[in-house]
Amino acid sequence: MRLVETLIYSLRPGTGAEFHRLVREESLPIHNAVDMDIVDFGQSEHHPDAYYLMRAYDNLDHLNSSQQALYSSDIWRKGPRPAILERIVVSLKTMAWMSEAAIEETRLCGVRRRAMN
């Protein structure tokens, strides 16, 4: 079992496509550099200015240490952070434990969905 964090964002009108580009091209490489496991991400099917990001952790300590490493880094603070934050109107977070199989199936569905777009 791993701890999965799901972030849900309501974005400023008309910013969903640019937000997705920022996440894909600038934010995710930094996440990967601090050993965060990105399970899935993207614009919501119901609205282009709604977005989600799912990240998996071994436990709460892993979540806290990797988020500390990410959010305190200069590459994050001086990189995509300002552009990302200025597009977010509301941010919600939830966490749940998921099996490795469920995480991998979710990851695979996301990869397939992005390949179709």
Domains along the chain with CATH numbers? 2-111 (3.30.70.100)
> Is the whole model's pTM more than 0.75, yes or no?
yes
* Average pLDDT score over the chain: 96
DSSP-based three-state secondary structure for 113: helix
Give residue 83's Cα distance to chain centre.
Answer: 15
Residue that the structure tokens 């806290």 belong to? 64
> Are 110 and 56 contacting, i.e. CB atoms less than 8 angstroms apart?
no
Q: What share of the chain is helix, strand, coil (3-state, %, to 5)?
A: 50, 30, 20
Query: How far apart are the C-alpha atoms of 59 and 112, rounded to whole Å?
Result: 27
Residue 40 has pLDDT above 90, yes or no: yes
Predicted confidence at residue 106, as pLDDT, reads: 97
Tokens representing residue 113 in the block: 């969905």
DSSP state of 59: S
H or E element in which residue 56 lies = strand 50-57
**pLDDT band with cut points at 50, 70 and 90 for residue 114:** confident
Interval 20-34: pLDDT, tens: 999 999 999 999 999
Interval 58-95: pLDDT, tens: 999 999 999 999 999 999 999 999 999 999 999 999 99
**pLDDT band with cut points at 50, 70 and 90 for residue 9:** very high
